[in-house]
Structure 1
């Protein structure tokens, strides 16, 4: 099974998820949004599999800096555009294991994925 983690390396949640995978001996690829970028196709797949409302990180600084009008008018299409422009607004990590997409990190969640 191919495992890819998407995110930014200095995120605390990403660090915890990487540490868990390494402790469990799971080989994975890491896709750094800042270095490798994101495109509409990738973000659309995340939104399709996980729901765009879940993919948008509403707790982050980038989201909080949006105007109220931008927040109120978010739709699938506008969310995808914003996430491509501002990948830091994608909730982290997104883990793709085989054909399954997972959002966020909790040790018991990862244990269930790989059991």
Structure 2
């Protein structure tokens, strides 16, 4: 498995994940979503795999600063509108997002808790 770690370079959790992957010798690349923007079709694929409830970080500063109209989109049923919102506001996405580049670009893990670590091959 070859992982892509999608995140923000200033995100502490993303930096911890990248350091752990490096130390474990797990093949990966890093993608900063601010410099390599997320396409709406990618966000739609992630939404399809993970669901908005898991993918959207409703505890973030970005969420708290969102206009009510954007919150309504995020809480709605229109997957295309949610994907467009996530592509526009990448800091709404729970990070990091780990995808498997060897296979079908599926989301392997989200965040960097114990289940996510296990899913990407980290034992500690």
Per the alignment, residue 116 of structure 2 pairs with 109
Change (3 A) 1:108 1:81: closer
Tell me which residue corresponds to 1:88: 91
Q: Is the 1:4–1:95 Cα contact (8 Å) retained in structure 2?
A: yes
Q: How far is 1:109 from its partner?
A: 3.4
Q: Deviations over 1:29-63 (max 9, x none)?
A: 11111111111111011111111121111111111
2: CA distance between counterparts of 1:112 and 1:69? Answer: 35
Higher helix share: 1
Q: TM-score, normalised by structure 1?
A: 0.86
Q: CA distance change for structure 1 residues 83 and 20 in 2, over 3 Å: closer, same or farther?
A: same
Q: Please identify, of 104-113 and 53-62, the stretch whose mean Cα deviation from structure 2 is larger.
A: 104-113
Unaligned 5+ segments in structure 2 are: none
2:71 matched to 1:44?
A: no
Q: Which has the higher contact order (CA 8 A, sep 6+)?
A: 1
1:27-38 paired onto structure 2 within 5 Å: 27-38=27-38
| Length, aligned pairs only | 115
Cα pair 1:33 1:87 within 8 Å, conserved: yes
State how 1:60-99 maps to structure 2 within 5 Å: 60-73=60-73, 74-75=75-76, 76-97=79-100, 98-99=103-104
Q: For 1:4 and 1:95, how far apart are their aligned partners in 2? A: 6
Name the CA distance, whole Å, in 2 between partners of 1:84 and 1:112: 25
RMSD: 1.9
Structure 2 residue matching 1:34: 3-state secondary structure: coil
